[in-house]
Amino acid sequence: MTSSRRNALYVSAEIATPLLVVAAIFVFTNAAGSFYFPPFQDVLVAFQQNWLFSRVMSDVAPSLVRLLIGFAIAIVVGVGLGLLLGKVAWLRRQAGPVVEFLRAVPPPALLPFTIIAIGVDSTAKVALIAFVCVWPILLNTMDGIAGIEPTLRSTDRVYRIRAWDHLVHVELRAASPQIFAGIRTALPLAIILMVISEMVASTNGVGYFIVQAQRSFALADMWSGILLLGILGYLLNLVFTGVERLALGWHLRSHAAVS
């Protein structure tokens, strides 16, 4: 089989698989006759009525703003602290138990604390997203920096490279595959925490809408909110994949050349 035919087969499979899943859901929900699984066409109607585009500014926009701000804070703090801990071995050993303890705390258990300590506004939700997402980014950055070959670390002395240029063009570049792996791990956590934080003591957001629909037994509306979350997660991952390919093009090309 030629490479062009193989690629065409892969593309066809990628298109056909979600269509088959949608068709199966359509058949199941229409045949089940269950109150908890309304017909899929009703969910699509509710999706059109709620999210195209009457609730975009009132619920979708606040959710995305909280997610992006919290995620951005986690990236800055995670990469910064990971860089410091990765470069300083004794500090990494001292901070290790604290980092492992904090990242092991279940995120939902932090909700009561954030409500009491910070309040019920967007600040608390952003803080919770940032706190939970920072750990995979920090740990991957720390491991990436600590695992750099000693010969790369000595290049600044041999070639008299300035400290800032060595940091940006040597260390961060060498650790960037692991840094992006940590960011990719943190992205679904950000979406999960966005929803969880909006389900408690909130007045807007996609999570708030889903809970209110469930409490009023508007099951089609509830499922439309869940469908929206899946679409948002897919689109955010698609954007991140594009950014990752641009930033790590050299890394992907080197692996392709080896294989």
Averaged pLDDT, 167-177: 87
Give the pLDDT band (50/70/90) at residue 248.
Answer: confident
* Beta carbons within 8 Å of 32's beta carbon, 6+ residues apart: none
Q: Within a 10 A sphere around the Cβ of 154, how many other Cβ atoms?
A: 10
> What pLDDT score was predicted for residue 257?
58
The domain limits of the chain are 38-247
pTM of the shown model:
0.90
CA–CA separation, 164 and 112 (whole Å): 42
Amino acid found at 255? H
> What pLDDT score was predicted for residue 256?
57
What confidence tens digit (pLDDT) does each residue in 58-99 have?
Answer: 999 999 999 999 999 999 999 999 999 998 989 999 999 999
Q: CA angle, corner 122, sides to 121 and 124, nearest 5?
A: 80
Q: What is the mean pLDDT of the chain?
A: 89
Range 38-247 has CATH code 1.10.3720.10: yes
Give the closest residue to 62 by CA, choosing from 189, 198, 190, 188: 198
What confidence tens digit (pLDDT) does each residue in 124-156 have?
Answer: 999 999 999 999 999 999 999 998 887 776 776
Give the closest residue to 227 by CA, choosing from 11, 49, 61: 49
Among 17-21, 57-61, 214-218, the range scoring the smallest mean pLDDT is 17-21
Higher pLDDT, 253 or 50: 50
> What pLDDT score was predicted for residue 56?
93
Averaged pLDDT, 43-55: 94
Q: How far is CA 196 from the centre of its chain?
A: 14
C-alpha pair distances (Å), 225 with each of 28, 60, 193, 222? 20, 10, 16, 5
